[in-house]
Amino acid sequence: MEEIFSILSRLSDSEPAGTIFSVAAFAGLRRGEIAALRWEDYRDGELFVSRSLWNGHVSGPKTPKSAAPVPVIRQVAERLEMHRLRSGSPQTGPMFRNNAGKPMAMDSVENRLVRPALNRCVACSQPEGDHAKADHPYRRDQSIVPWYGWHAARRGLGSNLYRLGVPSKVIQDGVLLVVGG
Protein backbone atom coordinates (compact mmCIF):
# COMPACT_ATOMS: atom_id res chain seq x y z
CA MET A 1 0.00 0.00 0.00
CA GLU A 2 2.79 2.40 0.91
CA GLU A 3 4.50 1.72 -2.43
CA ILE A 4 1.28 2.42 -4.32
CA PHE A 5 0.78 5.75 -2.55
CA SER A 6 4.44 6.63 -3.08
CA ILE A 7 4.12 5.98 -6.82
CA LEU A 8 0.85 7.94 -6.98
CA SER A 9 2.49 10.92 -5.28
CA ARG A 10 5.34 10.84 -7.83
CA LEU A 11 2.82 10.71 -10.68
CA SER A 12 0.77 13.68 -9.46
CA ASP A 13 2.33 15.92 -12.13
CA SER A 14 2.20 13.17 -14.78
CA GLU A 15 -1.46 12.83 -15.57
CA PRO A 16 -3.12 10.76 -16.85
CA ALA A 17 -0.43 8.32 -15.62
CA GLY A 18 -1.53 8.71 -11.98
CA THR A 19 -5.15 8.00 -12.85
CA ILE A 20 -4.20 5.04 -15.01
CA PHE A 21 -2.02 3.62 -12.24
CA SER A 22 -4.82 4.07 -9.69
CA VAL A 23 -7.14 2.04 -11.95
CA ALA A 24 -4.49 -0.69 -12.15
CA ALA A 25 -3.79 -0.63 -8.41
CA PHE A 26 -7.30 -0.23 -6.98
CA ALA A 27 -9.52 -1.80 -9.64
CA GLY A 28 -7.04 -4.49 -10.66
CA LEU A 29 -7.45 -4.05 -14.39
CA ARG A 30 -4.78 -5.27 -16.77
CA ARG A 31 -3.02 -2.71 -18.94
CA GLY A 32 -4.84 -3.87 -22.08
CA GLU A 33 -8.18 -3.56 -20.29
CA ILE A 34 -7.27 -0.05 -19.11
CA ALA A 35 -6.20 0.99 -22.62
CA ALA A 36 -9.54 -0.23 -23.99
CA LEU A 37 -11.71 1.55 -21.40
CA ARG A 38 -14.29 3.92 -22.80
CA TRP A 39 -16.23 6.51 -20.84
CA GLU A 40 -19.42 4.57 -21.50
CA ASP A 41 -17.83 1.64 -19.57
CA TYR A 42 -17.85 3.72 -16.36
CA ARG A 43 -21.31 3.89 -14.86
CA ASP A 44 -23.14 3.29 -11.59
CA GLY A 45 -19.86 3.26 -9.65
CA GLU A 46 -18.39 0.42 -11.70
CA LEU A 47 -16.05 -0.15 -14.60
CA PHE A 48 -17.57 -2.58 -17.07
CA VAL A 49 -14.69 -4.52 -18.60
CA SER A 50 -15.73 -5.75 -22.02
CA ARG A 51 -12.61 -5.51 -24.17
CA SER A 52 -8.85 -5.41 -24.19
CA LEU A 53 -6.45 -3.52 -26.43
CA TRP A 54 -3.08 -4.98 -27.28
CA ASN A 55 -0.74 -3.57 -29.94
CA GLY A 56 -3.64 -1.76 -31.61
CA HIS A 57 -5.90 -4.82 -31.74
CA VAL A 58 -9.15 -4.91 -29.79
CA SER A 59 -10.29 -8.24 -28.41
CA GLY A 60 -12.32 -9.54 -25.53
CA PRO A 61 -10.88 -9.60 -22.01
CA LYS A 62 -8.24 -12.21 -21.25
CA THR A 63 -10.71 -14.59 -19.63
CA PRO A 64 -14.52 -14.84 -19.42
CA LYS A 65 -14.32 -14.01 -15.70
CA SER A 66 -12.52 -10.78 -16.56
CA ALA A 67 -15.57 -9.55 -18.50
CA ALA A 68 -17.42 -8.29 -15.47
CA PRO A 69 -18.19 -5.03 -13.70
CA VAL A 70 -15.50 -3.97 -11.23
CA PRO A 71 -16.39 -1.71 -8.28
CA VAL A 72 -14.72 1.71 -8.31
CA ILE A 73 -13.60 2.90 -4.89
CA ARG A 74 -13.80 6.57 -3.93
CA GLN A 75 -10.08 7.23 -4.51
CA VAL A 76 -10.33 6.01 -8.11
CA ALA A 77 -13.70 7.68 -8.73
CA GLU A 78 -12.27 11.06 -7.68
CA ARG A 79 -9.29 10.63 -10.00
CA LEU A 80 -11.53 9.56 -12.89
CA GLU A 81 -13.78 12.59 -12.44
CA MET A 82 -10.78 14.95 -12.39
CA HIS A 83 -9.41 13.20 -15.48
CA ARG A 84 -12.79 13.59 -17.19
CA LEU A 85 -12.78 17.33 -16.43
CA ARG A 86 -9.20 17.75 -17.71
CA SER A 87 -10.27 15.89 -20.87
CA GLY A 88 -13.16 18.24 -21.63
CA SER A 89 -15.92 16.22 -19.89
CA PRO A 90 -16.46 13.54 -22.57
CA GLN A 91 -19.30 11.08 -22.13
CA THR A 92 -18.14 8.64 -24.81
CA GLY A 93 -14.93 7.49 -26.45
CA PRO A 94 -11.60 6.31 -25.09
CA MET A 95 -11.16 7.10 -21.41
CA PHE A 96 -7.41 7.53 -21.84
CA ARG A 97 -6.89 8.99 -25.29
CA ASN A 98 -3.90 10.38 -27.12
CA ASN A 99 -3.81 13.65 -29.10
CA ALA A 100 -5.36 11.89 -32.10
CA GLY A 101 -8.35 10.79 -29.99
CA LYS A 102 -7.28 7.14 -30.04
CA PRO A 103 -6.65 5.00 -26.93
CA MET A 104 -3.28 5.69 -25.32
CA ALA A 105 -0.67 2.95 -25.59
CA MET A 106 0.26 1.83 -22.09
CA ASP A 107 3.88 1.31 -23.17
CA SER A 108 3.97 4.98 -24.15
CA VAL A 109 2.46 6.06 -20.82
CA GLU A 110 5.04 3.97 -19.00
CA ASN A 111 8.01 5.26 -21.02
CA ARG A 112 7.00 8.94 -21.30
CA LEU A 113 5.36 9.53 -17.92
CA VAL A 114 5.88 6.79 -15.33
CA ARG A 115 9.57 5.92 -15.70
CA PRO A 116 10.76 9.56 -15.85
CA ALA A 117 8.78 10.31 -12.68
CA LEU A 118 10.31 7.35 -10.81
CA ASN A 119 13.84 7.20 -12.23
CA ARG A 120 15.45 10.37 -10.87
CA CYS A 121 19.06 11.23 -10.15
CA VAL A 122 19.89 11.33 -6.45
CA ALA A 123 22.16 14.37 -6.95
CA CYS A 124 20.03 16.64 -9.15
CA SER A 125 16.54 15.03 -9.25
CA GLN A 126 16.54 15.06 -13.06
CA PRO A 127 14.92 12.13 -14.89
CA GLU A 128 17.40 9.62 -16.24
CA GLY A 129 16.56 10.50 -19.86
CA ASP A 130 17.27 14.23 -19.28
CA HIS A 131 20.55 13.62 -17.50
CA ALA A 132 22.94 13.43 -20.49
CA LYS A 133 24.21 17.01 -20.08
CA ALA A 134 24.68 16.86 -16.31
CA ASP A 135 28.13 17.45 -14.85
CA HIS A 136 27.95 14.29 -12.74
CA PRO A 137 27.15 10.63 -13.33
CA TYR A 138 23.55 9.46 -13.07
CA ARG A 139 22.75 7.56 -9.89
CA ARG A 140 19.15 6.56 -9.34
CA ASP A 141 17.53 7.90 -6.18
CA GLN A 142 16.98 4.70 -4.20
CA SER A 143 14.45 6.41 -1.93
CA ILE A 144 11.98 6.38 -4.82
CA VAL A 145 9.96 3.19 -5.23
CA PRO A 146 11.14 1.26 -8.30
CA TRP A 147 8.75 0.54 -11.15
CA TYR A 148 7.83 -3.15 -11.44
CA GLY A 149 5.27 -2.74 -14.22
CA TRP A 150 1.52 -2.44 -14.54
CA HIS A 151 0.85 -6.02 -13.47
CA ALA A 152 2.61 -5.49 -10.14
CA ALA A 153 -0.19 -3.10 -9.17
CA ARG A 154 -2.67 -6.02 -9.22
CA ARG A 155 -0.79 -7.99 -6.58
CA GLY A 156 -2.15 -7.56 -3.10
CA LEU A 157 -5.30 -5.89 -4.40
CA GLY A 158 -7.63 -7.45 -1.82
CA SER A 159 -5.36 -6.62 1.12
CA ASN A 160 -4.89 -3.05 -0.08
CA LEU A 161 -8.62 -2.50 -0.54
CA TYR A 162 -9.27 -3.89 2.94
CA ARG A 163 -6.70 -1.46 4.39
CA LEU A 164 -8.56 1.38 2.67
CA GLY A 165 -11.77 0.37 4.46
CA VAL A 166 -13.59 -1.16 1.50
CA PRO A 167 -16.28 -3.58 2.75
CA SER A 168 -15.27 -7.25 2.62
CA LYS A 169 -18.23 -8.22 0.40
CA VAL A 170 -17.27 -5.59 -2.20
CA ILE A 171 -13.66 -6.76 -2.10
CA GLN A 172 -14.64 -10.40 -2.40
CA ASP A 173 -16.96 -9.79 -5.36
CA GLY A 174 -14.65 -7.39 -7.18
CA VAL A 175 -11.34 -9.11 -6.49
CA LEU A 176 -12.64 -12.55 -7.42
CA LEU A 177 -13.82 -11.12 -10.73
CA VAL A 178 -10.56 -9.29 -11.38
CA VAL A 179 -7.96 -11.69 -10.05
CA GLY A 180 -9.87 -14.85 -10.89
CA GLY A 181 -9.30 -14.22 -14.58
Domain residue ranges of the chain, discontinuous segments joined by +: 2-179
Decide if pLDDT at 161 tops 80.
Answer: no
Sequence-separated contacts (24+) of 116-123 with Cβ below 8 Å = 116/14, 117/10, 117/11, 117/13, 117/14, 117/17, 118/7, 118/10, 118/144, 118/145, 118/146, 118/147, 119/144, 119/147, 120/144
State the chain's maximal CA–CA distance in angstroms. 55
The CATH architecture assigned to 2-179 reads Orthogonal Bundle (1.10)
Mean pLDDT of 23-50: 94
Model pLDDT, residue 48: 94
Model pLDDT, residue 55: 86
Between CA 34 and CA 108 the distance in angstroms is 13
Q: What is the pLDDT of residues 98-153, one digit of tens each?
A: 999 999 999 999 999 999 999 999 999 999 988 888 999 999 999 999 999 988 88
Range name among 34-43, 67-76, 171-180 with the lowest pLDDT average? 171-180
- In this structure, are residues 86 and 95 in contact, taking their beta carbons and an 8 Å threshold? no
Which residues, in sequence order, are CB contacts of 1 under 8 Å at separation 6+? 156, 159, 160, 163, 164
- In this structure, are residues 23 and 34 in contact, taking their beta carbons and an 8 Å threshold? yes
Model pLDDT, residue 123: 95
Q: What is the pLDDT of residues 17-29, one digit of tens each?
A: 999 999 999 888 9
Decide if pLDDT at 174 tops 60.
Answer: no
Model pLDDT, residue 176: 40
Which residues, in sequence order, are CB contacts of 74 under 8 Å at separation 6+? none
Closest CA relative to residue 178, chosen from 161, 55, 164: 161
Q: What is the pLDDT of residues 48-95, one digit of tens each?
A: 999 999 888 898 887 777 777 888 989 899 999 999 999 999 999 999
